[in-house]
Amino acid sequence: MNASSSSNDDESQEELQNEIAELEDRLRKAKQRLLESKAPPPPPPPPLSPSASSPLHRHRHQLQIPHSLPHNPHQQQQQQQQQQKQHHNLLLLSDSALPLGSFAFSSGFESYRAHARASRSTPRSFEVGFLPLSVASFAATSLPFMLAGYRDPGSLASGVLDDACDAATICAVARRASVAQGRALLGVWEKSFVGAVGAGGGGGGGMGRGGGGDGVTDERGDEEEGQDDDDPVRALKQFAALVRLSSSNSSAAVAAATARRRGAAAAAAAAAADLRRDNDEDEDEDEDEDEDDIPHPQAASAHFAPLFGVVARALGIPAPQAAYVFVLGYVRALTSAAMRAGVFGPFQAQRILAGDRARGLVAAAIAREWDTPFERAGQTAPALDLWAGRHEVLYSKIFNS
């Protein structure tokens, strides 16, 4: 009986194993079907009908090709080269080694430090006190002229923008610094940058003694080529001729005054002859009314802000980036002046420039003055003009202004 029961147990175990194997096989097949149901359907095969070779089908296929292919490689290469050129010129214009003489000016900080209390000459007071005040003042007085020069280069060529900037700059010390930097920038343009632009002719020899021409031939050539008020290269060329003409007239006036003081009879006679000729011309004005329409050359100061805007446009730099470099350059020059004055060291100066506060000051200044017309530009902190004006009476100083 024991033998029969053991045989029955073996048969039942074998049946159970077979049943388990069958269930496992069914489970495996069910999992396979589940995976197949979740997989994405294969793409349909392309039609092989004879109409696929018809001209209409080929035309539709050709029309769909530009949407699936990238842009023209030649156009992409031109765009990349243009972007590289803009980026390259932006770095050149923002370089601290650009020979503008900015290191010689403290923007009133040296005088502020001499007249302020000792507690105001700390790094903290500079970062949270003088720097925001000075940046806001600079943006209100200079940024509208820079943007106006960028947007309308012809206003610089006619001298309107430069005259307005000269009238808006009340402080004589600030005016002298702006003119010095502006003439330096104009010299850099004529001697270095104009050749890289490759449009509108070459430089006229700069602002020094090597400047060629008196501006008359250039203006006549511009009239023959046709006037284009939006061409920054031509505007800079015309304005440089105006500055050279103003400088030559000023030099002649100074030489005549010196000769008269020395008692030179020939110079006095020449001056008298010029005076008689001017009086004769004044008497003839009533007889000939057409002479009133003849434009007479005006003195050009060559302020820095409008020149920077026109040069930035001539170099192909976008307006927002040009404005940012313009204000950031002022922040950098002011921080450098504080460092050289001994307020803090070079590492803390870089920390200030790299911090969120300086970046926020630049962005806020540009956003605030972006739409301000140059007619409304003016000083927002009169104390800065007072400090800058008092710089000349300091007992000892390391900056020009």
pLDDT tens string 194-239 = 887 764 443 333 333 333 334 333 443 444 444 566 888 998 988 8
Q: Residue ranges of the domains in the chain?
A: 79-280+297-393
DSSP class of 46: P
Alpha helices in 39-130, H assignment, sequence order: 55-68, 73-93, 109-115, 123-125
Identify the pLDDT of residue 62.
Answer: 46
Residue whose tokens read 């050009």 = 300
Phi, then psi, of 46 in degrees rounded to 5: -65, 145
- Which secondary-structure segment (H or E) carries 168? helix 160-168
Rounded Cα gap, residues 232 and 157, in angstroms? 9
Give 219-222's long-range contacts (Cβ < 8 A, gap of 24+).
none
Identify the pLDDT of residue 314.
Answer: 92
Comparing 383 with 332, which gets the higher pLDDT? 332
Identify the pLDDT of residue 65.
Answer: 43
Asked whether residue 36 carries a pLDDT value surpassing 60, the answer given is: yes
Asked whether residue 299 carries a pLDDT value surpassing 80, the answer given is: no
198: which 2 tokens? 């490759």
Identify the pLDDT of residue 208.
Answer: 37
Identify the pLDDT of residue 269.
Answer: 59
Amino acid at 393: V
Amino acid at 298: Q
Under 8 Å between Cβ of 143 and 366:
yes
Identify the pLDDT of residue 6.
Answer: 60
